Amino acid sequence: MSIEMLQQAKSDALAARARFFGTLDEARERLKPGNLANEAWTGVKDKTAEAAGSAVEAVKQRPKTVALVLGGLALFLARKPIGRAAAKVVSRRRRKGNRDED
């Protein structure tokens, strides 16, 4: 092996080492917790905006269907308070009916 080839190999090795450490520094920077959280938050914001746009389109296309579904969901979520209120009304009517019979 000639001296020029040896010097070229050393030069190539140094260049490869510099590229490797440059890539390593980039990876370290991208993997910092703050940067990862930023990227995740940006992704969530983008997906949320996209989902909101899709929801608006769905409401515009089928407003009655959406109203029925949301109404059903509201009734489902309020089923216990509605049941208690209905039980109170029935209980009052029974008590009032018993008083009228006396």
Confidence band, pLDDT 50/70/90 cuts, at residue 96: confident
* In-domain check, residue 34: no
Number of domains in the chain: 1
* Per-residue pLDDT reduced to its tens digit, 32-54: 999 999 999 999 999 999 999 99
Domain span at residue 70 reads 63-102
* In-domain check, residue 42: no
* In-domain check, residue 17: no
d(CA 3, CA 5): 5
* In-domain check, residue 76: yes
pTM over 0.75: no
* In-domain check, residue 48: no
* In-domain check, residue 27: no
Backbone angles phi, psi at 24, to 5 degrees: -65, -45
* In-domain check, residue 78: yes
* In-domain check, residue 75: yes
Decide if pLDDT at 100 tops 80.
no
